């Protein structure tokens, strides 16, 4: 069943790249349905009693996480960061009249400065969701066998441009939850958020964490957990699950916790 699903997705991506308008139509529908269809691990936010507290969304992309958080915790305030220009512009336009959502067009990292941002395209498909601060990271997903039916290297191009980078600490925020999906930049982002995390002790959601991320967070007393069927379970989430949650003892003491 999994192989069939993967082949179907690979064929769909082939059409995104080769048939005009298919990718745009697909993602327009996805944006429309985002508040109603979300990854199950997002529902872990319901255990945290965020209420009207602050959620920081790092790597907002097309706004999937914003839509999920607003559906699950409608009273929350969200500050989102997106370094890919087109995606940031879409989000700014979408939420310009919503006082509970703020969009920052720029990157976060370990130190302030200017970084190079890489944005891949494959044929007619603008793959902005795979953009990264490292060129290899930006194209790795597309080159992975099975991702793209009849992958053709000549159709792959990568544009780059400078992006302003700041540390999360420089924003002086008090988050209850920080979500990170930053195409390999998570470790640098955490290093630039050290003061914020150690002072306010937010829960963390990290996409596909590396051992280095887990090691750093362990130094700050955070332990990894997966979320499924209404419960947190200790350990890194399976590869088929995007987000691993990182929690401290205080989080676990205030929620229904699976063992």
Predicted local confidence at residue 259, as pLDDT: 38
With a cut of 90, say whether residue 7 has pLDDT above it: no
Please write the tens of the pLDDT for every residue from 162-178.
999 999 999 999 999 99
Residues present in the chain in total: 259
* Region 110-120 average pLDDT: 94
Confidence band of 8 (pLDDT split at 50, 70, 90):
confident
With a cut of 50, say whether residue 2 has pLDDT above it: no
- List the single range of 46-55, 135-144, 165-174, 193-202 with lowest mean pLDDT: 135-144
- Beta strand residue intervals within the chain, DSSP E: 54-58, 77-81, 101-104, 107-108, 113-122, 125-126, 156-166, 175-180, 203-207, 223-228, 231-234, 243-247
- List the single range of 2-6, 37-41, 68-72 with lowest mean pLDDT: 2-6
Confidence band of 142 (pLDDT split at 50, 70, 90):
confident
* Region 184-198 average pLDDT: 97
Predicted local confidence at residue 150, as pLDDT: 87
- List the single range of 133-137, 164-168, 193-197, 231-235 with lowest mean pLDDT: 133-137
Q: What is the dihedral of CA 84, 89, 94, 95, to 10 degrees?
A: 80
Predicted local confidence at residue 28, as pLDDT: 67
Predicted local confidence at residue 252, as pLDDT: 87
Q: Return the residue matching tokens 């990182």.
A: 246
State which fold the 39-110+167-259 domain adopts.
Rossmann fold (3.40.50)
- Listed residue (224, 233, 184, 231) closest to 204, CA to CA: 224
Predicted local confidence at residue 4, as pLDDT: 42
Predicted local confidence at residue 157, as pLDDT: 94
Is residue 18 helix, strand or coil? Answer: helix
With a cut of 90, say whether residue 21 has pLDDT above it: no
What residue spans define the domains of the chain?
1-33+113-165, 39-110+167-259
With a cut of 80, say whether residue 26 has pLDDT above it: no
Phi, psi for 128 (deg, rounded to 5): -65, -25
Predicted local confidence at residue 149, as pLDDT: 87
With a cut of 70, say whether residue 256 has pLDDT above it: no
């Amino acid at each position: 069943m999994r192989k069939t699903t993967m082949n179907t997705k690979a064929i769909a991506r082939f059409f995104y790249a080769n048939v005009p308008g298919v990718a745009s139509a697909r993602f327009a529908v996805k944006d429309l349905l985002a508040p109603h269809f979300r990854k199950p691990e997002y529902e872990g936010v319901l255990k945290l009693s965020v209420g009207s507290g602050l959620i920081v969304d790092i790597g907002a992309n097309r706004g999937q996480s914003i839509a999920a958080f607003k559906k699950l915790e409608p009273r929350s305030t969200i500050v989102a960061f997106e370094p890919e220009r087109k995606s940031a512009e879409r989000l700014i336009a979408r939420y310009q009249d919503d006082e509970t959502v703020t969009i920052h067009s720029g990157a976060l990292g370990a130190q302030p400065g200017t970084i190079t941002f890489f944005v891949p395209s494959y044929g007619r498909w603008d793959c902005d969701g795979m953009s990264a601060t490292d060129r290899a990271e930006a194209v790795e997903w597309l080159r992975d066998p099975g991702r793209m039916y009849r992958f053709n290297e000549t159709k792959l191009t990568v544009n780059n441009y400078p992006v302003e980078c700041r540390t999360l600490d420089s924003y002086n925020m008090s988050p209850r939850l920080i979500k990170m999906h930053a195409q390999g930049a998570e470790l640098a982002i955490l290093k630039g958020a050290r003061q914020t995390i150690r002072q306010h002790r937010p829960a963390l959601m990290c996409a596909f964490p590396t051992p280095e991320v887990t090691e750093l967070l362990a130094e700050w007393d955070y332990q990894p957990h997966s979320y499924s069927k209404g419960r947190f379970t200790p350990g890194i989430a399976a590869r088929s699950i995007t987000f691993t949650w990182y929690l401290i003892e205080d989080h676990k003491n205030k929620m229904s916790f699976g063992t």
